[in-house]
Every structure is written in structure tokens, then in C-alpha cells.
Structure 1
Amino acid sequence: MSDPANWSNREMVTDNDLVIAPDQATTLPGLFRQRVTRTPDRTAFRQFDRQTDKWREYSWRQVAEAIGCWRHGLRIQGLQRGERVALWLANSVAWVACEQAALAEGLVVVPLYARDNAANLAYILNDCGARLLVVDSAAQWRQLRGCGHALPSLQQVVCLEHIDESGRPESLWPVAQWLPRDPVADNGPILQSNDLATIIYTSGTTGRPKGVMLSHRNILWNCWAVLQVHPARPDDLFLSFLPLSHSFERTVGYYVPMMAGCCIAYCRSLQELAEDMRLIRPTILISVPRIYERIAARIEEQLERKGRLARWLFAAAVTVGFRCFEAQRDQRTPTLRDRLIWPLLRQLVAIPMLERFGGRVRLAVTGGAPVQEGISRLFLGIGLPLVQGYGLTEAAPVVSTNEPANNRPTTVGPPLPGIEVRLAEDHELLVRGPGVMLGYWQQPELTAEVLDADGWLKTGDIARIDHGFIRIIGRSKEILVTSTGEKVAPVAMEMALEQHPLIDQAMVVGEGRPHVAALLVVNPQAWMRLAAHLGLDADDPASLDSDAARAAALSTVSGLLRAFPAPAQVRGVCLLSEEWTIDNGLLTPTLKLIRDRVAVRYARQINELYRSTRSVSLARQGAAPLHDEQSGSP
């Protein structure tokens, strides 16, 4: 197996003229052609080949040849300009080749989430009228066929894996038979920058997914604006593990490195992410908060096994390191004590922790959802340059981002250059700029609701803007209004609750109720420790509903929410052991909570919370909270 640690040493390039401007590219396939022309033999992608058990490198020229073959296959299929091609594929060079081929032929690409359920995918395929679907495996096609939804517009399905000819459906073709071996000989149709390039379906937290229509210009401009704030170097190495169906990964983790001439390495799987980070040693990470939360949880579990000294050293490193981070950001000199102790803590704690990321990450970006303040403090404290950004698919998608030199981790940073933001009367964030979508696919009325004649997009997010930095408060549709008329933003509360080791997931409820309460999914290990402390049987489901467990959890919750206003004080809790996942329909493919479904699933428990006065009486008893020595937190 080749050694990824040596890859960057072979191709150190510092010529920033390699960056391709939007007016030079014009379209997304134009961007790719420009990249091939400028750096044909540089490594474009790295991908693990499980058949040979080796990492394989692909140059821009090699990928261009593959794209030519895919374009030939699309032409043979007889697809017409503007028709839709859907991709239900894992991140791979094949994803890139198929997508670029479809774009170059004037087709519209519809990416599908690999972990989405079949019924949802069938809805999307029918809504966009996809004519061709490309899948990784025949099992995916069987899953679609078995969901009970007809797919009348779908003409053909191409599968990347080998298919046994016996019993093969007529519409399902293995790529080895479908794909011509010779590429097309011409450039194809002439495309314009404002042509529709892709339809990206939102994850459907409040109903059916909506198809966001983005032009070539929308995406190219957003890439260029990102590069003005976070310049990428041609020797940067991106590690791609978020699905390319996610607009954040597709723009920032795919088109941005293409525009800058960087290399992209595809992670083998999320299960192998930790090993791949150490092996590949990326310089830039693009992720959602959940990945950092999982890494933080693993760190905490390991510290628990190592004992009190390790926990104390880690906590000290985070505290001192974060103070040094703030001093550097604010152009202050750290205190003498911090200057003396930090080099030792950095050597003992921070550097070994950073090695888990490969040891040379110069920029780690988190977006797609709010990040817990404690998570930001942890990673910034050990020296990981973690910046939070904000965006939405309707804006192609990045709206704002912090930058390392002026990083305010409780905000999502100032808007990108060229983007205008303002607040409506109800503090909803409005956005205007070249990245704002063309509209929703076949939904002009819904488009008019969120996009006015002057180009202002209603984001649906409640925000504050302090000295140019945007702070997201919560979703306007998620604001709870109690029966007393008080308005409560649950997301910030849930993030505060999920920072505690006992609480893996939280949902605050209270719409139309006299006060707010919380559903809490407990961490299995932390629950075992709490149950033992309370003299309960952790394996008995009834223990979660015991007065002692609720009292301890409620008191802990009260402490975590102490800084929140009075209407946001939780007066009842329900402890749950079932994790909320994509598979059980309670999370979207982008790991967002589907509140309506959670509320329906636990309607009985929620009603019990408000029928009973037990939660209020428990709060008045002043039950002892779960302290650090009980939870094992550092």
C-alpha cells in the first residue's frame, strides 16, 4: 500500500494563479475543463480500492477520460438537454465522472442521500421526473422497487457493481455493459452560466422535501466567495466524508478544491474515518458538528478509563489553550502563567490529540447545523483551527463563516463578500446575493413565499447581528409558544443539554403548554453510572421512569439551563433509551431532528409530563444534580 503521508511531499505547488475564476469557468463542466487544461497530470482524487487493498490516484486527465465515456453513454441513452439524472452513490470518482458527464451534456443532476429511506427517494425521483438513476448496488434498486411506489418517468437504472444476469430486471444495467469504452469526440451543447445545473432536495424537517434549483453561476460564485475568506493552496489535501448529496460538501468539499487545484481523498467509510485521518493526514476538513461531537465523546470515554490525572491534564489543556486562542485572536499577550504552562500542556495533551486528525490540519470547517459551544472550546483549546459557518441549500449554500484570525465561536461569522444580510421585524435572517437559488422545482407559490421580488431570501432562521457577526438563535418554525404567550427557542437549549455526558440527544417541547419540558435520550454508559449511583437497575426500562432518575436528571437540566430566561426553564423530563436515527425516521439524512415525528412517537410520554405534577414537585425538592464525579466528565 502506498503511504499517504508522503503524498504532499511529491506535489508541493504554490502558484496561486492556478485558481480558476467564475468568469473563466462560466459553468461547472467549464470549471472542470479549465482544471484539466491547467493541471492535467496533477493528482485530482485519491480513493481506496478494496479489491487490491491499495489507495489509488487519479489525475485530472484520467478523470476527464472517464467523463467522456459517461457522456457517450448518456448520449446513447437519448437523454435530452434539461432532463434529470439522479445519483444514488457513495462519494467516489464514479460520482464525479457521472455528475460531470451529465452536466456537460446539459442534463440536470439530482443527488440522493445514500442513507435516505426508499419511500422518500421514490418521492424525489417522481417529483423531479428523473429519467436515469445511477446506483452503487442492485440491492438499492430492489429496495426502491419494494417500497410500493411506481416510478413511471424512470427509463433506466445503471449499477456500478457486477450483477448476476439470472433474474436481472430489464431496466437494470451493470455499468460494465452500459458504459462505452470510447469517449465522445466533441464538447456537446453550449451552456450558459444561468442554466439550471442541479436540483438538490432539502432534508424535509417540516414536510415533503423541496427541490432547490441552483444554476451554474449560483455554485461557482459561492465557491469563489468562500475562497476569498479561506484561500486554498494547491498543495492542500481535502478529506471527503460528508455525502456529496449534501450541498455543503458538494460546494466546499468538491467544487472549491477543483477551483483551487487541490486534491480530494475519499474516506473509505465513516467507521474508518479515524484511521483515514491519521493515514491521509488532510490539511482541510469539512464536516458537520455531529462528527466533532462523536470525536469528543470518544476522547471523553478514553479519559474516563485513564483516570483522574488524565482528565485533569486534558481539562487544563483545553482551558489554558482556549485562553491563549482568545488572546491571540484579540491581539493580546497571554498571561505569564499561561505562557509558561501552555508549552508543557501542548506537548503532553494537545499534540497527541491533534495527531488523531493527522497532525497537519490547517483549517477545520463545521457547518450544516449549530455546533455546541463546549465542542468549539474543546477543539480550539487543543489547537485545532475550527471555524463555524452558516448556510442553506437555497444559498448554494454558504452565507457566512468565521475565519481563523478573527474567530468568534459562538457566532457563524460575518457574511461572505458580496452577500447582503438583514433582519426582518421578527428577527428572521434575510439573505441576498448571487448564490441565492432560482427557486423551488415546480413550486412557484412556495418560491414566492421565501424569495421576494428584490431577491431577498427568507432563511427561516432567527438571528442577531452583532458588529457584523451573525448569531443564529433558532428556526422560526421551531420557536415554541407556550399557553402563557412566552416564546422559547429550543435549539440553543438542546445544544446546552447535549453537552452533558448523560444526554446524547434532547428535544424541548411545550408548544401550547403551560411550560416547557424535555425528552432526553440518555448515553448508555453514563446512564449505567447514574443508575448505579442511585441504586437502580440500569437494564430495567422502568428505572428510566423512576422518581430518583427523573429527579437527578431534572436537577442537572436545571443547572445546565440556569443562564436561560425564566420561560426556558424545563419543569419536566422524560428519559429515553431509544436513539433517534435516520433508520427509525426521526432524523433527516443530514442528521436534523424531525420534531413532528418525535412528538408523535412519544405523544403518550409528553402528555404524561403535562398531566402529572410530579415533575414540578421534584424540581421543588431540589434533587442533587449529576456531578462530574458521578458522570465521569473531565
Structure 2
Amino acid sequence: FDQAAMSLGLVTVPLYIVDRPDNIAYIVNDADVKVLLFENDEQWQALRTVLDQLSGVVRFVSMDNLQNTREARLQSSRGFLPVSAQCQPAPACDTHALASIIYTSGTTGKPKGVMLSHANMLSNARACLDTFVVTADDLFLSFLPLSHTFERTLGYYLTVMTGATVAFARSIPQLSEDLQTIRPTLLISVPRIYERVYGAIRTKLEEGSPVKRKLFKLAVDTGWARFECAQGRAPWQVSFLLWPLLQKLVAQKVLDKLGGRMRVAISGGAALSLEVSRVFVGLGLPIVQGYGLTETSPVITGNHLENNFPDSVGQPIRDVEIRLGAQNELQTRGPNVMLGYWNNPQATRDMIDAEGWLSTGDVAHISATGHVYITGRIKEIIVMSNGEKIPPNDMELAIMHDPLFDQVMIFGEAHPYLIAVAVINAEAWSHFAQEVGIRPEMPEALTDSRVEAKVLRRIALNLRGFPGYAKVNRVLLLREPWSIENGLLTPTLKIKRKEVSRRFAEQIKQLYEGH
């Protein structure tokens, strides 16, 4: 449907199937959608709750044949499209015409409609092929939503362009099974998935013997040194002679959990810490980190396999320019930059200047080799009451290296000290509570002073590389994971900072009382 619609010059508006019905209604109305295509009865039942807000929709088209519905505008795809008919010649399509309106999932406020042309997306997919080679023999495993521009451009259009094969995972909870069944050669993912695998490895190592931990560390250290040598940044070492044995005893066992055939893993959508990258690269799986925005179709920069700095987001892809503006904000210009925001010319002017430079909102520095390092978001920098400035993202990534924490958000704007709000890992929490000498299932266990003291010591250990003022003084521990369903994650698994702040405002206030 997507390719057919765009070949006819129609404009597609992808929706997240897990999005709230009221948010879907907002997007459908804002984009003035006339035909709404969905899959099954479950999605229809969700749409029915907002039908009174969807008066502008001319036709609802279901992929499944639904029964006992009274909605006159509803039709099955079989009825909507005849089985056989005279084929109308496709009109010539202007490559610079509007192809799709993609609404940003947004961690704050209402989503904005990003207008992308055919040329925007196709030029981006072609340019990405310069950073990693894809052949017709490759097999991708797709599990991110196709309404996510990262997955749509790289996991869908790029795959079709190269003749590679794409398999679609059943769901994220079943991803580990699908990886071993499908055995992909390439994986496109947001950092959260790599972090989960890394966390599982850490948990197993903590439960294992000291010998296993030392062997794993030796494998990662040796593998990383081999990688640095292959990149031309370090000399050959005699320890490399151990690699065949370490690969058999350690590395291959981990990589088999990912299917055993993966030759490159691509990470984007958010920052991936060097510690996580180092483990995968050290075990023999190159992670290629890139960077971009929905507004840039999406890729701006990417690492090359032969010139890979895993803690950077790489160099600009072909035909894309970058520069640093005020406050070291990364700016970009190129054929991938959007046409503008739908129904929002002022927001477009705020984002793109008269010379075509788009302001990303991200603070960065560019190395002598041209590699870009993202250091924070301009709007997310925490300014404490003493004037010290804190980039929360880096601290949150560092804290989550501890398998006790699944999700973390740092607070401290206009306050004298920092607070961490953290979702604990259920399995790790059970072991931790036993060490402290309390029952993990007790509600008051999370607020026990002994627990907080020990948690703060573990957090401090992970933050030892940060300045002294970047110290977490209090912590709020939570059991329930932040998810799309409870409104605390975007469909692309990013934390909705504004909503987390609102949801836990009272508990956070109590942790600051008296200061």
C-alpha cells in the first residue's frame, strides 16, 4: 500500500499502532487524512472510541474482514480494491513533491508533522549505502515500527533498493526468539535493545563464577584491542594469538544468541554508550552508530566500518553538510532536509534558516577526523541553583551500566542537588534486597534508608568520571517500567521527560523538602 500510494503521487501518513486513540485522532485531523488503513479488529475497537473526532475521514479500510459493524464508512481492503481491473498508467511523479507526513513522536507537547519528499528519503537511503555495504544476500530483521523514519528509510527502502531480504519480528518481547530463528546478517536498532542484551550479560556474569567474569573481560579486552589494531589506531599484540580460543569459549556463545550470522549492527535514534559498544565490538560484532532526525529523513552522520569510532556518531553522509552554530549546536544542510512542518510555517522558520541550515537542537563537537560527538540537548541541560550546568543524558547512560537500573531520569533544575528517578530491574532488585536484609516485595523496601544509601553508593561508582558537582544526593526507586502503554515512553522508546516530571512531581518535591 505504501509504495502503491506514493507511486500514484498520494501522500502517506504513518501512524504508530500502539499510540493512544486521542493522539491518532489529532494526527488524522491535523493532516486532513481522507483514507485510514488499519489491520484488524483490535485496532478498529481503539478507533471506535474517537470516531466522533474523525468526521473528515471518508473511508476506513480494514485489512481483515470485520463483521457486525454499523459504520458506513468502513470497508474491507478486498472490497476497497477489486481483485482485477484495468491498470491505469501511473502518473509521472515529481521527486521533489511531498511524499509523506511523518509526525514526530515527541517527548514534550503535541507532535509536529514533518513533510518529506520522495527525493528526501531516496537520497538518504542511497547515501547510507556508502557507510555500510548491503547485498542481495543480506537478511534484515525489522522490529521497529515503520512509522519510525529510521526503520522506514534504512530497514525498508534501503533493503528494497539493494535486493536484500527483510523479515519482520513478531514483537519486541519475542525478539530474542526471532533473532535465533531468522538469523539476520544486519540489525537496525535503537540503543535500548543493545542495552537490554548488555544488561542480561551483566546479570549472568554477576551470578557466575569469578573465573567466568575474568574470561569474559579478557575476551572483550582482547577483541577491542584487535578492533583498534584493524582500524589502524593501535599495534598488533601477542594476546591476539588467544583470540581463536576466546572466540570459541566466550564470543561466539554470545553472538549465537543474536542468530550467529550478524556481521554488523546499526544503532541510531539515541546515544549508545561506549561501554555497551565496547562489549559488542570486543566480542566481534561491529556496531555502527549514526545520528539523525525525522526532519532529515533521518540520517545526518554515520560511522564507516573501516573508520569506526564507536563513541561518536560518525561523519556526514554523502551530500550532507554540517557545522556548529551558537552554543555549539549542530546544524545541517543537504538533500535530506525536510520540506517543512505541515500546517506550521513558523515552526519551519524556527528550525531552518534562509540559507537552508537546519538547527538540530543538539550540542556537539567535531573531531579533527570529522567525527561528530553529541554531548547533550540544548533544552535538556540542567542548570542547578548554584549555576552549574549538567547534561543529564550522559549521567543517565552511565548509571544504567548498573544492571540494577532499567530506566533512569535525572532531576535538578534550579535546585541545589541532583535527584535520580530510577526504575529497578526486578531480578537484580531481588538479589539486592536480600543483600541489604529486607524483603524485596514489601512496598516500604523501596524507601528504606539502608536501600537508598547503598543505591547512592552504586550510582556514585558509575558517576566517578563526572565532575564533583554532578553528584546524585537522593533517589526515587520505582517498580513499574516506563512504557508506551502507561504514557511514559514515546513509540520509539524515548522517555517522555515532561510526563515523567508531571507524574512523579509530588515524590520529587518531597525529596527536596528542607533544601
Shift in CA distance, 131/326, structure 1 to aligned 2, threshold 3 Å: same
1:555-594 maps to which residues of 2 (within 5 A)? 555-594=457-496
- Provide the C-alpha distance between the structure 2 equivalents of 1:199 and 1:605, rounded to a whole number of angstroms: 39
Deviation for aligned residue 1:437: 0.3
1:97-112 maps to which residues of 2 (within 5 A)? 98-112=1-15
Partner of 1:188: 90
Partner of 1:206: 108
Deviation for aligned residue 1:354: 1.5
Partner of 1:345: 246
Matched residue SS, 1:108: coil
Partner of 2:61: 158
1:586-625 maps to which residues of 2 (within 5 A)? 586-612=488-514
Q: Is the 8 A contact 2:36 2:57 kept in 1?
A: yes
- Provide the C-alpha distance between the structure 2 equivalents of 1:100 and 1:340, rounded to a whole number of angstroms: 51
Partner of 2:183: 281
- Judge which range, 142-151 or 205-214, deviates more: 142-151
- Provide the C-alpha distance between the structure 2 equivalents of 1:443 and 1:532, rounded to a whole number of angstroms: 55
- Provide the C-alpha distance between the structure 2 equivalents of 1:276 and 1:112, rounded to a whole number of angstroms: 24
* Residue 258 of structure 2 corresponds to residue 357 of structure 1: yes
* Greater helix content: 1
Q: Is the 8 A contact 2:139 2:165 kept in 1?
A: yes
Partner of 1:119: 22
Shift in CA distance, 611/184, structure 1 to aligned 2, threshold 3 Å: farther
Matched residue SS, 2:174: helix
Matching residue's letter, 1:464? H
1:181-330 maps to which residues of 2 (within 5 A)? 181-182=83-84, 184-304=86-206, 306-330=208-232
Deviation for aligned residue 1:304: 4.8
- Provide the C-alpha distance between the structure 2 equivalents of 1:271 and 1:554, rounded to a whole number of angstroms: 31
Deviation for aligned residue 1:156: 1.2
Matched residue SS, 2:337: coil
Partner of 1:132: 35
Deviation for aligned residue 1:341: 2.2
- Provide the C-alpha distance between the structure 2 equivalents of 1:180 and 1:546, rounded to a whole number of angstroms: 66
Matching residue's letter, 2:250? V
Q: 1:141 aligns with which of 37, 44, 62?
A: 44
Shift in CA distance, 377/158, structure 1 to aligned 2, threshold 3 Å: same
Deviation per CA, 1:174-215, whole angstroms, max 9, x where unpaired? Answer: 223322112552322221111000001001112100000000
Deviation per CA, 1:339-364, whole angstroms, max 9, x where unpaired? Answer: 23222111111112222222222221
Matching residue's letter, 1:141? W
How many residue pairs align between the two structures? 514
Matched residue SS, 1:111: coil
Deviation per CA, 1:309-367, whole angstroms, max 9, x where unpaired? Answer: 3333223212221122122212543321x223222111111112222222222221010
Q: Is the 8 A contact 2:489 2:495 kept in 1?
A: yes
Matching residue's letter, 1:339? F
Deviation for aligned residue 1:271: 3.0
* Residue 329 of structure 2 corresponds to residue 433 of structure 1: no
Matching residue's letter, 2:283? I
Deviation for aligned residue 1:274: 2.1
Matching residue's letter, 1:340? L
Deviation per CA, 1:279-324, whole angstroms, max 9, x where unpaired? Answer: 2222211111111122223334444555443333223212221122
**C-alpha root-mean-square deviation of aligned residues, in Å?**
1.6
- Provide the C-alpha distance between the structure 1 equivalents of 2:484 and 2:260, rounded to a whole number of angstroms: 32
Partner of 2:324: 423
- Provide the C-alpha distance between the structure 2 equivalents of 1:177 and 1:306, rounded to a whole number of angstroms: 59
Shift in CA distance, 183/552, structure 1 to aligned 2, threshold 3 Å: farther
Instruction: Report the structure number with the largest CA radius of gyration.
Output: 1
Q: Is the 8 A contact 1:502 1:523 kept in 2?
A: yes
Q: 2:393 aligns with which of 485, 488, 491?
A: 491
- Provide the C-alpha distance between the structure 2 equivalents of 1:277 and 1:600, rounded to a whole number of angstroms: 37
Question: Structure 2, unaligned stretches of length 5 or more?
Answer: none
* Residue 254 of structure 2 corresponds to residue 367 of structure 1: no
- Provide the C-alpha distance between the structure 1 equivalents of 2:430 and 2:176, rounded to a whole number of angstroms: 26
- Provide the C-alpha distance between the structure 2 equivalents of 1:434 and 1:472, rounded to a whole number of angstroms: 22
Partner of 1:178: 80
Q: Is the 8 A contact 1:214 1:396 kept in 2?
A: yes
Partner of 1:447: 348
Matched residue SS, 1:285: strand
Q: Is the 8 A contact 1:195 1:215 kept in 2?
A: yes
- Provide the C-alpha distance between the structure 2 equivalents of 1:464 and 1:368, rounded to a whole number of angstroms: 18
Shift in CA distance, 480/394, structure 1 to aligned 2, threshold 3 Å: same
Deviation for aligned residue 1:275: 2.5
Matched residue SS, 2:469: helix
- Provide the C-alpha distance between the structure 2 equivalents of 1:184 and 1:200, rounded to a whole number of angstroms: 32
Deviation per CA, 1:214-245, whole angstroms, max 9, x where unpaired? Answer: 00111111111111222211222222111111
Deviation for aligned residue 1:407: 1.2
- Provide the C-alpha distance between the structure 1 equivalents of 2:27 and 2:374, rounded to a whole number of angstroms: 29
Matching residue's letter, 1:554? L
Q: Is the 8 A contact 1:562 1:569 kept in 2?
A: no
Q: Is the 8 A contact 1:431 1:458 kept in 2?
A: yes
Shift in CA distance, 508/149, structure 1 to aligned 2, threshold 3 Å: farther
Partner of 1:5: none
Matched residue SS, 1:264: strand
Matching residue's letter, 2:38? V
Matched residue SS, 1:404: coil
- Provide the C-alpha distance between the structure 2 equivalents of 1:160 and 1:313, rounded to a whole number of angstroms: 52
- Provide the C-alpha distance between the structure 2 equivalents of 1:440 and 1:489, rounded to a whole number of angstroms: 28
- Provide the C-alpha distance between the structure 2 equivalents of 1:369 and 1:516, rounded to a whole number of angstroms: 23
Q: Percent identity?
A: 46
Partner of 1:626: none
Partner of 2:288: 387
Shift in CA distance, 350/189, structure 1 to aligned 2, threshold 3 Å: same
Matching residue's letter, 2:507? Q
- TM-score, with length taken from structure 2: 0.96
- Provide the C-alpha distance between the structure 1 equivalents of 2:235 and 2:470, rounded to a whole number of angstroms: 38
- Provide the C-alpha distance between the structure 1 equivalents of 2:148 and 2:264, rounded to a whole number of angstroms: 20
1:47-86 maps to which residues of 2 (within 5 A)? none
Deviation per CA, 1:103-131, whole angstroms, max 9, x where unpaired? Answer: 12211000011211111111111110111
- Provide the C-alpha distance between the structure 2 equivalents of 1:186 and 1:344, rounded to a whole number of angstroms: 62
Shift in CA distance, 508/148, structure 1 to aligned 2, threshold 3 Å: farther
